[in-house]
Amino acid sequence: MLSRRHFLGASLATTVYAAGSFVPVWAQNAPNFGTPTLPRPGFSRMKLGNVELIALNDGITRRPLGEEFVKNAPLAEVRALLASQGLPTDYIDVPYTPFLVVAGARRILIDTGLGEFGGPTTGKLLENLRAAGLQAADIDTVLISHFHGDHINGLRNKAGELMFPKAKVMVPAAEHAFWMDDARMAAAPAGMKGAFENVRRTFATMPADTLVQFAAGTEVAPGIQSVAAYGHTPGHTLFELHSAGQNFFYVADLTNVPALFARNPDWAVTFDMDAEAARKVRREVFQRITASNAMLGGFHFPFPAFGRLAASGNGYAFQPAD
């Protein structure tokens, strides 16, 4: 188990929240670099065995690319890798894409986006859900990978109302224990207080019959297995879906933008709370996915955010589905 002391060290301060806001600084727009183009339509469907997966884009934010984004690589090297792929070198576009599993009568949403707490190019999940022919009230289960704001803020609106009124909200027990610990909150750096407050805003008053904690490694719904991938956060959890002999991995924030962190799995994004643990589990999971030729989807992957990985140099290249 990762230690409390480790997570309250300097690495914890990397996810900084703006004063008076539940939105991370990194999730706010950088207008000097223009506005990212959102996908239209903002949903994409894929069949997996007997179930359907729907990628639901919640939006994209654009942030300047500085020395801090990749913590253990020179900025010049980071820019060179982006340029080699025909990507901009002075900013990074960060997409947000939850996934919906449609399995018979079940409607299982994985992560929720920024909701009403992001900038103008985010908070598109419900709009894209409706465009795909579904309503928030159709969701019976919400699976949460970890408690960073871009994954949980869509659970409630600014008035505090639950946005998926009929859904059970299932969260990793290890993640819940960390963020709801009063001693950890008290000892956290000032820049992290907002993160702890945001978790409490989201979960502290959630009805007991709505909030369900699960242990990593357990089945959270028929055919959906939870997988511990601690490092990005203390309880960061992936979900592996099995149907009719086919597999799909939702890798959440195992890697941020794959053009950087799949190509170089040893690079550490600024948001990883335990960079070394995140690096190890990233390599382990990517090796497992490529060995099985499974489909995967990532929360910060370019839309449609699902596809396959192929070995490339020292890492992997993400190949989006057509």
Kindly report, residue by residue over 186-207, the tens digit of the pLDDT: 999 998 999 999 999 999 999 9
pLDDT (average), residues 3-27: 41
Residue 219 makes CB contacts below 8 A (sequence gap 6+) with 225, 226
Q: How confident is the model at residue 32 (pLDDT cuts 50, 70, 90)?
A: confident
**pLDDT recorded at residue 25:** 54
Residue 31: is its pLDDT beyond 50? Answer: no
pLDDT (average), residues 230-235: 98
What integer best gives the mean pLDDT of the chain? 92
Percent residues over pLDDT 70 in the chain: 90
CATH architecture assigned to 38-320: 4-Layer Sandwich (3.60)
Domain regions of the chain by residue span: 38-320
**pLDDT recorded at residue 12:** 39
